[in-house]
Structure 1
């Protein structure tokens, strides 16, 4: 699987809410620097975290806008449109950096404005 194939699946699985298959894209010893959750080590740690994703959002879409793939490294600019369980909207521009080795994501970091995600901890307006 090429790096671009991995990225296409990453966004397709996220947008389908298929977090099990999404997690399968990561290597067993993956590392992630996630802007909201911090540093994460290991696919099974990530899988445990993502098991609660359905509770965080009533809907979630992460639409890729631009891809840059150079060998094992890639960057993707995307836009998140989501709704919290209380009905509050989340709109955020995102930049993800990936290192993809042997068809698996070995490292990922994301960068985005954290303010839109504060609605997750707030009650209904």
Structure 2
């Protein structure tokens, strides 16, 4: 049964990732991968909210599988982040590559911490 929850979440997360990435990237005329950045930070925020809710007893294991493992697992993408950073470096856009690494890690961690904090405030 658990694997069905993961599949269901991934069935939403994967197309959401693709569509969001394309929509965000089409609005920017730059080599910086804004679409991947947006989905990764959003996934960190969702996972932070879910983690904070679970810590307060407001989210059970089924919701964690559905949203955390399934949705966020398919929505976020470390491999594309890595590939795009490498591609930026190879094409001479080293400053964009460095900004992608620093910005993604900083914003992702910030979003996760913010999500946990919001969830803990809501379910305290």
Q: TM-score, normalised by structure 2?
A: 0.26
Structure with higher helix content: 2
Structure with higher strand content: 1
Larger radius of gyration: 2
Q: TM-score, normalised by structure 1?
A: 0.26
